[in-house]
Amino acid sequence: MSAAIDLAVSTVIFALRPDAAGHLVLSIPLVRRTRDPFEGRWALPGGAADAAESLADTAARKLAETTGLSPAYLEQLYCFGEPDRSPSGRVVSVVYWALVRTDEAELAAEGENVAWFEADELPQLAFDHNLIVGYALWRLRTKLEYSRIAHAFLGPTFTLAELRQVHEIVLQKPLDPANFRRQIEASRAVVPTGQHVTGGRHRPPRLYRYDASVQLVDNGPLTSAGIR
Amino acid sequence: MSAAIDLAVSTVIFALRPDAAGHLVLSIPLVRRTRDPFEGRWALPGGAADAAESLADTAARKLAETTGLSPAYLEQLYCFGEPDRSPSGRVVSVVYWALVRTDEAELAAEGENVAWFEADELPQLAFDHNLIVGYALWRLRTKLEYSRIAHAFLGPTFTLAELRQVHEIVLQKPLDPANFRRQIEASRAVVPTGQHVTGGRHRPPRLYRYDASVQLVDNGPLTSAGIR
DNA sequence: GCAAAAGTGTTGTGTCTACACCCATGG
DNA sequence: CCATGGGTGTAGACACAACACTTTTGC
């Protein structure tokens, strides 16, 4: 009948999770589609936009409903609206991307229709979701280098070695510890708590926390989003 | 009846136009609203999304319908969807930003309900359009520094002085001609045509053209958009 | 020749990279 | 004392800003 456009909200959720060998890997949770189109295929979590809710709130709610997680960082990625991206009719998807803390991701709901995949080894997904994840990966890697969002993968306090490990896993390259330290210190993104971590067979590293008073993340025109 | 969401497409159009004193100024065309809400206020050109058309095509079409212009550069800016941004109901706007060549902008339709404004001296606009323009301005200025989009304001060939003038007007600061030249040459964004411009009371400058074989603009996940 | 802008050269300054080296802990 | 990673110092490479200087035109 009418040539209506469906408006949907989806989210690319990133977390660092241990793989079979126990190494942390950049991973994303996907949901299996239970109806046409693309029944049986894996897809990004999401759903129809809600008229009473902001788009970011819808993204966060869908994220919580499917995975039980709450994002440490949430930002709009892009609005996908090519006419042919869904065989079932015109669907415009506002896509967000989110970062989830590693310790939270451990608790994530997983089941027959919700599973985690390594971000760089995805199966063929429903719709244009492979394209979307590829773009989200590019944004994450680009933004990690000029912005300070890596701490969103970690807890409230962390060592510089942990923060560096996040960068190394996401960017897939080793980083010089000495230069990494200076770079982070120069950005004033973190402040030392004064505490140290004991127990390692080496000099006890300092603990740092994120300095929220320094604005290092441009999070689009709506500054209320972002760090939650 | 139903709590439907209206999907709209709007565009922030940038061009360099001469002001009263004859100096080029960064300007944008606006349309006057002829009905509620915000009747009489100026607003971004746009309209309802079309089910048969891509969002970028809708943006370009609306742009042409209201101003008679065609964009040299077009990129999605952001999707604005706060629940309270329109008093008449829920409207989600996919906003694009466009660059128009200076010589084309001269021919733009102007009338009682379409007028050009200096980008930094706008009246109070309808909806959240002041916020949107502010964000588009930030994006334009940021992207101009790390990407090579300035030539979209110019014709197919141009001198480095003209290209530098574009940068100076948009960024609102003078640039060293010597360093600007080296920076542009190092980016390989332009190639000399071999021709020169005569007629000035000085050494005739070389003409350059944009080198389309060098990808210097990241234009989102859909590479088909962008330079047109 | 003179003014004006095109175009080239040069020098200092700050930033990034690679890597040597010392520090503090557990065993 | 030794292995391990935390943390500091430093020299070379590189990029960039400032500015002196030469080139080529119109008048």
Which residue ranges make up each domain of chain A?
Answer: 6-132, 146-210
For strand C, give the nucleotides within 7 A of a protein CB: 3-10, 16-20, 23-27
Which nucleotide is nearest, taking the CA of residue B160 and each C1'? C6
Q: How confident is the model at residue A9 (pLDDT cuts 50, 70, 90)?
A: very high
pLDDT tens digits along B166-213: 999 999 999 999 999 999 999 989 999 999 999 989 999 999 999 877
Interface residues from chain B to A (CB-CB < 8 Å):
3-5, 7, 49, 51-55, 76, 78-83, 90, 92, 94, 131-132, 134-135, 220-222
Which of 2.70.70.10, 3.30.930.10, 1.10.10.10, 3.30.565.10 is the CATH number of B146-210? 1.10.10.10
Average per-residue pLDDT in chain A? 92
- B-chain CB neighbours of A54 within 8 Å are 81-83
Q: Is the CB of A186 under 7 A from strand D?
A: no
Q: Is the CB of B173 under 7 A from strand D?
A: no
Distance CA B80, CA A107 (A): 33
Whether the CA torsion A19, A22, A24, A29 is positive or negative: it is positive
Q: How confident is the model at residue A215 (pLDDT cuts 50, 70, 90)?
A: low
H/E stretch holding A53: none
Distance CA A190, CA A151 (A): 9
The proportion of chain B whose per-residue pLDDT surpasses 90, expressed as a percent, equals: 80
- B-chain CB neighbours of A220 within 8 Å are 78, 135
A19: which residues sit within 8 A by CB, 6+ positions away?
A: A25, A118
At residue A212, the pLDDT reads 79
At residue A225, the pLDDT reads 44
CATH number of A6-132: 3.90.79.10
CATH number of B6-145: 3.90.79.10
At residue A226, the pLDDT reads 52
Q: Residue A227 pLDDT more than 60?
A: no
Residue with tokens 């320094």: A214
